[in-house]
Chain A
Amino acid sequence: MTMPLILVAVMVVLFACGVYLLLDRSLTRLLLGFLFVGNATNLLIFLMSGSFGEAPLADSAAAEDMSDPLPQAFILTAIVITFGVSAFLLALIYRSWRLAQDREDAVQDDEDDIDLAKTEALTVVEVTDDDLAETPEFSDDDDDSEGPAVASERAASDAGEGKAR
């Protein structure tokens, strides 16, 4: 099995650059990193096909002279998937950039996470009897029947005010 050294070197460089870019906070670099890593993986599969030879067409060459067609099929599939996903990523990046107030295409922080980290005590507030006494009782009816009840109450109080006037 012969492995062209130059391809191996290219794969290594692509992987290294790709991983470096993937670690960046900027989304555009992230996309580039993904493309690099994707192509490096395709090269890896290509290298795994072993020794290279004739085109794998039936009856055109002896079977042992042909290169292995299966990895090429894998690569084609992978390229299509990478293409589709990069298109989606581009749309996502554009949308993210449009939404970001400071016009920055970087990965946003999760505000809930920060909130939680800053919270000193959790919200378990002890409920005293006083609190319970203050709580208005809910009627067991659902919202719809509550509406008219409130309305009639208001009407009654309005009427009361009217009388007072």
Chain B
Amino acid sequence: MTVLVPLVVLVPLIGAALALVFPGRERVQQSITVTALAIVVGLGSTLMWAADSIGTLVMEVGGWAAPFGIALVVDRVSALMLTVSAVVLLGVFLFSLGQGLADGDEETPVSIYYPTYLVLGAGVCNAFIAGDLFNLYVGFEILLVASYVLITLGGTTQRIRAGVTYVVVSLVSSILFLAAIGLIYGATGTVNMAQLTVRIAELPDETQLLLNLALLIAFGIKAAVFPLAFWLPDSYPTAPAPVTAVFAGLLTKVGVYAIIRSQTLLFPDSSIDGLLLLIAALTLIVGILGAVSQLDVKRLLSFTLISHIGYMIFGIAIATSAGFAATIYYIAHHIIVQTTLFLAVGLVERQGGTTSLSGLGGLMRSSPVIAVLFFVPMLNLGGIPPFSGFLGKLGLFTAGAQLQTPAAYWLIGIGALVSLLTLYALVRAWVLAFWRPKPVTTAAAEPVKTPSTEALLLRKREEAMFERLQDAPDAQPTQKKRGIPKLMIAATVGMIGVSLVLTFAAGPLFAYAERAGDDLASPEKLAELVLETEQPNGGSGDTSIPGEEGAHG
């Protein structure tokens, strides 16, 4: 079973290499990418089953025993993350196939899209299976470099502007992470997470706090928590719809996953739970207030994304196994539902030609299917009872109430309020985009009336659109109405289906999350397991198989 662990990284990387060999031959590249992603989905679910029934899988790369070699660890948490990410990667990729990132966009270098997308997947998987702090850093770098390319795809003015912000902020967070690794190595003499559990506990409290905060800031930028989140709504919305969807679903969650790992495995007795609660509260409030004030659906969704990171941080701050369990379930739910919403917005953009609420309208009549496709994940994100969003929040609030501290009760109140405000922000967007009659531009520009702010705004937007048209032939807002490919609809429906699976299979999944939460709450077990596995896997057997795979590639 441990043989399968490195394959989740190797398969996408080999796929990327193969896809790179066939530039310009889209069909070949597409089939390679789909195959690789489908294999990762299979691997992920197998690993999830194995981690649950057999136990945590530890793979020692090159056969070197744990503290010296690099350990790849798959426990219940990482297996679930792997599976959900793989499903999202595949779903979004099918969507982008339907959209045909190429159509009408002569300047978009599509050849590079497929390999980059696979490398992004490899980076995400590598971050999830890393049992080693430095390997986690490498995983982050792989996915970040791929994301730099994807976010500036086509190199239009808007994307370059957003890309610069995104790249620089990510670079700063990477450097901070690297410096934190350096400091941790200086303090403990190891970067293996299992060994760090033992050694960090022996450090003086102040040193622990310093190291903890250094890591928290680095991961906080990636996870987009409150004071470090303002790069996100600035940069994500400009990317192509599928890219935004996959970024929103996965990249911030990798940051959250890293925070979970560092808080449970490295600093289990940390004194910053109070700080985390505060961060969670501020992230929830500031994020959702940002969302309420937005005019652009993509930006609105980016802000809800930030806001909902607050729920996850809340779960981590509870720091009981119930809290971790709820967080894990919530992450799985949020990855899928946020991605689905962005995909639905991609459909809206294609149908309505824009994502600005001032320009949208009447979509209910012209495309009722999209209205439904937006409506279902909207209710889900807002936490309306039958859906997984409600179950996740219920789990979080129950775990919080068990703490019986005033801070936890405050957080529950804020969480409930934010859930309502999320619903408000999304319903407002839905009503403006779908329900109201389409705003007639000529009527808005009538000379008799004094122009309303909306008309002014529209006019400004039109001017901006024409400007952009001259700058970049492939700018998104100027897309004409075209028929929507079946595959795009199918991919979105599929993602909604997956989110409904989270609801229908909530019993077993929550039980799984609870077992995973127990794992997280007792890191000693994992540490023992990782440090004591030198004998059973006689190195050569494990390493030769990935080696052969590499040779095939």
Which A residues fall within an 8 A CB radius of B? Answer: 22, 27, 30, 34, 37-38, 41, 44-45, 47-50, 70-71, 74, 77-78, 81, 84-85, 88-89, 92-93, 95-96, 99, 107-108, 110-113, 115-116, 119-125, 127, 131-132, 134-135, 138, 140, 142-144
Contacts and interface: CB of A to CB of B under 8 A. Distances in A.
- Return the 10 tightest CB-CB contacts between A and B, nearest first: A48-B186, A138-B365, A135-B437, A45-B182, A108-B161, A123-B358, A44-B182, A123-B454, A99-B157, A48-B182
B141 A123 contact: no
Contacts of A48: 182-183, 185-186
Given A38-B175, A85-B145, A119 B299 contact: no
B471 A132 contact: no
A119 B157 contact: no
Contact of B366 (A108, A110, A138): A138
Given A34-B171, A92-B160, 17 more contacts: A22-B168, A38-B175, A45-B178, A45-B181, A77-B138, A88-B145, A99-B160, A107-B165, A110-B161, A112-B237, A112-B299, A115-B295, A123-B453, A124-B432, A132-B437, A135-B438, A142-B367
A125 B452 contact: yes
15 contacts: A88-B145, A89-B167, A92-B152, A96-B161, A99-B157, A108-B161, A111-B464, A116-B293, A116-B295, A127-B437, A131-B437, A135-B437, A135-B438, A138-B365, A143-B483
Given A89-B167, A115-B457, A123-B357, A140 B365 contact: yes
Contacts of A41: 175, 178-179, 182
B211 to A, nearest CB: 12
B25 interface: no
Interface residues of B, number: 60
A150 to B, nearest CB: 14
Contacts of A70: 185, 191
B525 interface: no
B234 interface: yes
B67 to A, nearest CB: 11
A27 B162 CA distance: 13
A78 B483 CA distance: 47
A37 B168 CA distance: 12
Contacts of B366: 138, 142-143
B453 A81 contact: no
B45 interface: no
Q: Chain B CB within 10 Å — which of A30, A47, A135 has the most? A: A135
A107 B464 CA distance: 19
B362 interface: yes
Contact of A127 (B186, B436, B461): B436
Interface of B: 134, 138, 141, 145, 148-149, 152, 155-157, 160-165, 167-168, 171-172, 174-175, 178-179, 181-183, 185-186, 191, 234, 237, 293-296, 299, 357-358, 362, 365-367, 428, 432, 436-438, 440, 443, 452-454, 457, 460-461, 464, 471, 481, 483
Nearest to B438: A135
Nearest to A131: B437
Contacts of B294: 116
A13 B164 CA distance: 26
A127 B313 CA distance: 40
Contacts of B293: 116, 122
Nearest to A84: B145
Contacts of B454: 123, 125
Instruction: Tell me what chain B mostly uses at the interface: helix, strand, loop, or mixed.
Output: helix
Nearest to B365: A138
Contacts of A143: 366, 481, 483
A88 B183 contact: no
Contacts of B161: 96, 107-108, 110
Given A116-B293, A123-B295, A96 B160 contact: yes
A97 B47 CA distance: 47
Contacts of B428: 124
Nearest to B182: A45
B217 to A, nearest CB: 14
A95 B175 contact: no
B183 to A, nearest CB: 7
Contacts of B182: 41, 44-45, 48, 71, 74
A120 B453 contact: yes
A113 B443 CA distance: 27
B357 A144 contact: no
B154 to A, nearest CB: 10
B483 A144 contact: yes
Contact of B171 (A47, A85, A99): A85
Contacts of B174: 81
Contact of A74 (B134, B175, B457): B134
Given A74-B134, A123-B457, A138-B362, A96 B185 contact: no
Contacts of A38: 175
A53 B365 CA distance: 76
A145 to B, nearest CB: 12
A89 B160 CA distance: 11
A108 B452 contact: no
A14 to B, nearest CB: 12
A130 to B, nearest CB: 11
Nearest to A45: B182
A99 B157 CA distance: 6
A29 B460 CA distance: 33
A146 to B, nearest CB: 9
B178 A78 contact: yes
